Amino acid sequence: MPVCLQTKIDTIFRLNFFRLHVTDNPPTLRRDLFDISLQLIPLVRLFKSKIVNEQISYIMVPQTVTGFLACALKMLKNTFVYDFGTFRMVLDNYDPDVSRQIQQHGWYVDERFDIKVFRKYLRSRMTFLDVGANVGFYTFLARSIIGKKGRVFAFEPYPRNAELVKASIRENNYNNVTLVEAAVSDKDGKASLYLSPYESSENSLLELNFQNAITVDVVTLDDYFEKKVSDTKVDFIKMDIEGSEYRAFKGMSKLISCNERMILMIEFWPNGFRRDNQDPYKFLKTIDKSGFDMQFIDNVKQKVIKVGVEQMKRIEKERMEDVSSQNEVMRRWGWYTNLLCTRGGIQK
pLDDT at 4: 52
Q: How does residue 245 score in pLDDT terms, banded at 50, 70 and 90?
A: very high
Residue bearing the bigger pLDDT, 236 or 76: 236
pLDDT-derived band at 26 (thresholds 50, 70, 90) equals very low
Partnered with residue 218 across adjacent β-strands are 183, 189
Q: Within the chain, which residue ranges are assigned CATH 3.40.50.150? A: 79-342
CA 57 to CA 65: how far, in whole Å?
14
- Write the DSSP assignment of 96-149 as a string of letters: TTHHHHHHHHSS-GGGHHHHHHHHHH--TT-EEEEES-TTSHHHHHHHHHH-TT
- Between helices 26-54 and 159-172, what is the axis angle to 10°? 60
* Global pTM value: 0.79
Identify the band that residue 343 occupies on the pLDDT scale cut at 50, 70 and 90. Answer: very high
Q: Which fold has domain 79-342?
A: Rossmann fold (3.40.50)
Q: What is the pLDDT of residue 324?
A: 61
Q: What residue type is assigned to position 29 of the chain?
A: L
Q: What is the overall mean pLDDT for the chain?
A: 83
* pLDDT band at residue 344 using 50, 70 and 90 as cut-offs: confident
The mean per-residue pLDDT over the stretch 68-82 comes to 67
pLDDT band for position 30 (cuts 50, 70, 90): very low
CA dihedral 307→313→316→321, nearest 10 degrees, is -130
pLDDT band at 250 (very low <50, low <70, confident <90, very high): very high
Lowest-confidence region among 94-98, 207-211, 343-347: 343-347
pLDDT higher at 60 or 335: 335
**Contact assessment for residue 202 and residue 196, using Cβ atoms and an 8 Å cutoff:** yes
Lowest-pLDDT range of 75-84, 260-269, 300-309: 75-84
* Segment holding 35, helix H or strand E: helix 26-54
Strand-strand pairing, 212-219 and 177-180: unpaired
